Chain A
Amino acid sequence: MPNIPADLKYTKTHEWVRVEGDVATSGITDFAQQELSDIVYVEVTTLNATVKCEDPIGTIEAVKAVTDYYAAVSGEVIEANESLKDEAQKCNQDPYGKGWIVKIRLSDPSELDGLLDAAAYTDLVARSEHH
């Protein structure tokens, strides 16, 4: 079973969110990195842009696939994890820590209520694993 920290929020598209003040830090979950396997490149194409929840805001390239990375919340993309340019494998090694991908300044904090909590995300993953 992948690691799903209890103190984070999650999306159906396998992003996690940690909120500090009005800034949401997000990345991909442990489950997502296991599914993708070796991640070789992470690109955030929307730095400094205003994005809407569920917009594609970047791409994650693994050895065998490329997937879009979606905004977990609406707001302004204020920072992208520069260190991933050279060390994309951090998303595999430490998805909830050094492998964070973007920071978004929230424009609508009420959206957080629509995200999944750890229990709901655990259910989602359990269902995905049965496929």
Chain B
Amino acid sequence: MLERIGARSAEELFESIPAAIRLDRPLDLPEPVSEFELLARLKEIARRNAGGERLACFAGAGAYDHAGPAIVDTVVSRPEFYTAYTPYQAEVSQGTLQSIYEFQSLVCRLLGMGVANASMYDLGSALAETAHMARNITRRRRVLVSSSVHPAHLEVLRTYAHGLDIPVETVGLRDGVTDPELLRAALDDTVAAVAVQHPNFFGSIEPMPELSGITRAAGAMFVAAVDPVSLGALVPPGDYGADIAVAEGQALGLPLSFGGPYLGLLAAKKEHIRHLPGRLVGRTTDVEDRTGYVLALQTREQHIRRERASSNICTNQALMALAAAVWLAWFGRTGVRELARQCLSRARYLADRIADIPGFTIANTRPFFKEFAVLTPVPAADIVKQGLDHGLLAGVDLGRFNPEWRHLLLVAVTENRSRDQLDRYAEFLRREYAGARTAPSGGN
């Protein structure tokens, strides 16, 4: 190889790298093994993970163990589709473009919005893009975010906003949901957008129509970050006048996969189409009157508009978007309604059973959908740890996000949790912790 590239020695090849940062010993690697030995070793390591397949999953906080019908994997595994990338030389990939167009159409229907893009990386990145979008549309500078938005998403938003010089401020809560009076007080003619998560990080249903009305009356844009499965039970963002709606698409047939890849849904009122970030597929007809699909309005995008582009995302989560489209088409309107109904009733059942256990209180004072926070008599982290020994992923310890929340356990219940698992979970809490030391006051 050295001869081929015209170098006399390996030493000569690397001489432009300063000696001080060169490794002067061999890499610390084990001896080579065969393909089969390597596979056995990797499987052994993988078996140490205790994922949703071995544990009954009550953890959520943005990533949920929902039904994944076999048809999703069957379709996305087809070699014609099997790429993580947005199509390059796009128009030769008519099938991929059609699948993205159908994804966009399904997202519009689900969210009740006029136009959706080809997808973002996840809810965090989708939410972050809305700040930039709202600033460009309103020519205002600040963004307000409810304190009930997931702390991780808020952090992503702050990271994007820092580079764009957009001040991000939070709005406080009352009864565990965004306080309309605090929102009203924080609004003025410098606020570009108000973002609210619904159901919020603690699972509670936010007063979206009221918050949207207050926001829009002040000339700011209302951004709704929703759980797509909840839309089988709750009204979609378009119905309460949201200007932009975003959602985490993981629930739509994507495995938990230890945190990714996930899928960001982003949709807006049609009048804002030229300010949408990312890729957008349109349908048209060719000169022979045949249907064709194209990447539309690329003049918004970075490869054409450079530093004045609507965003610097130049891709989408094509394979994840396809999975979500298959999932949505498979379940349909009645299927999503049924899933939502089952989440709601199972979550309600478990919350009632937990509320009966001495020492445990449901922290949500407002209605919730499939997730709720439990005020626990011992640190929530202890319960999560102990649950592993009983085949339970007992929830998310909120102390991870804020030390004041260490006695709050966030519990998610999807349609995948059987009656038997719900009873087993409640019995586990009663047996291990009933009447344990009372929790300190505080909560959300």
Contact = CB atoms under 8 A, between A and B. Distances in A.
B308 interface: yes
Contacts of A41: 274
A41 B297 CA distance: 11
B304 A66 contact: yes
Dominant secondary structure of chain B at its interface with chain A: helix
B308 A43 contact: no
Interface residues of A, number: 12
B305 interface: yes
A66 B299 contact: yes
Contacts of B274: 41, 43, 61
Contacts of A64: 299, 304
Contact of B308 (A46, A49, A62, A68): A68
Contacts of B304: 64-66
A34 interface: no
Nearest to A46: B139
A38 B308 CA distance: 21
Nearest to A43: B274
Contact of B299 (A45, A49, A61, A68): A61
Give the residue among B274, B299, B300, B305 with the most A Cβ atoms within 10 A.
B299
Interface string A23-35: 0000000000000
Nearest to B299: A66
Contacts of A59: 308
A64 B274 CA distance: 14
Interface string A56-72: 00010110111010000
A46 B138 CA distance: 10
Interface in A11-54: 41, 43, 45-46, 49
A49 B140 CA distance: 13
Interface residues of B, number: 7
Contacts of B305: 66
A62 B305 CA distance: 12
Interface in B322-340: none
B189 to A, nearest CB: 13
Nearest to B305: A66
B308 A65 contact: no
A74 B304 CA distance: 29
A33 B308 CA distance: 21
A45 B138 CA distance: 9
A62 B298 CA distance: 11
A65 B299 contact: yes
Contacts of A46: 139
A89 to B, nearest CB: 16
B42 to A, nearest CB: 49
Contacts of B299: 61-62, 64-66
A13 B354 CA distance: 70
A49 B138 CA distance: 13
Contacts of B308: 59, 66, 68
B274 to A, nearest CB: 7
B138 to A, nearest CB: 10
Contacts of A62: 299
Interface in B3-44: none
A111 to B, nearest CB: 24
A58 to B, nearest CB: 12
Nearest to A59: B308
Nearest to A62: B299
Interface in B277-328: 299-300, 304-305, 308
A7 B299 CA distance: 34
Nearest to A68: B308
Contacts of B139: 45-46, 49
Name which of A43, A61, A62 has the most chain B CB atoms within 10 A of its CB: A61
A65 B305 CA distance: 7
B334 to A, nearest CB: 39
A43 B139 CA distance: 13
A1 to B, nearest CB: 28
Contacts of B300: 66
Interface of A: 41, 43, 45-46, 49, 59, 61-62, 64-66, 68
Given A65-B299, A66-B299, A66-B305, 8 more contacts: A46-B139, A61-B274, A61-B299, A62-B299, A64-B304, A66-B300, A66-B304, A68-B308
8 contacts: A45-B139, A46-B139, A61-B274, A61-B299, A64-B304, A66-B299, A66-B300, A68-B308
